[in-house]
């Protein structure tokens, strides 16, 4: 009897991919929730909160995107290793 062919079940939700999604979604949520930062106090070196909060998110979103990219690379390597090891 022959073995049944493997069926590609599509995308798999893993904890790693959930963390990646949260890293990518967080900046959008932070910027779309305007009520949380639509104020002038506290000022930072004379810059109203409204402005420095948005500029801080530029740096934070850069870091989160880099983290998501590294996690995605790790996930893809692990996935290809599992698939390569299962084929043997």
Provide the H-helix boundaries in the chain: 15-32, 49-87
Digit-by-digit pLDDT tens for the chain (88 residues) are 566 666 666 678 888 999 999 999 999 999 999 888 888 889 889 999 999 999 999 999 999 999 999 999 998 888 888 776 554 4
Flag whether 12 is in a domain: no
Flag whether 31 is in a domain: no
Flag whether 19 is in a domain: no
Whole-structure pTM value: 0.75
The position carrying tokens 């979103």 is 61
Q: How many domains does the chain have?
A: 1
Can the peptide bond before residue 42 be classed as cis, meaning omega within 30 degrees of 0? yes
CB-based contacts of 19, cutoff 8 Å, min separation 6 = 71
Tell me the residue range of the domain where 47 lies. 37-88
Flag whether 23 is in a domain: no
Flag whether 17 is in a domain: no
The position carrying tokens 């084929």 is 87
């Amino acid at each position: 009897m022959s073995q049944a062919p493997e069926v590609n079940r599509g995308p798999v939700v893993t904890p790693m991919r959930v963390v990646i999604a949260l890293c990518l979604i967080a900046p959008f949520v932070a910027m779309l929730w305007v009520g949380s930062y639509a104020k002038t106090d506290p000022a930072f070196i004379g810059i109203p909160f409204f402005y420095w909060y948005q500029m801080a998110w530029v740096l934070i979103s850069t870091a989160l995107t880099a983290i998501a990219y590294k996690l995605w690379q790790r996930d893809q390597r692990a996935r290809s290793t599992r698939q390569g090891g299962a084929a043997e």
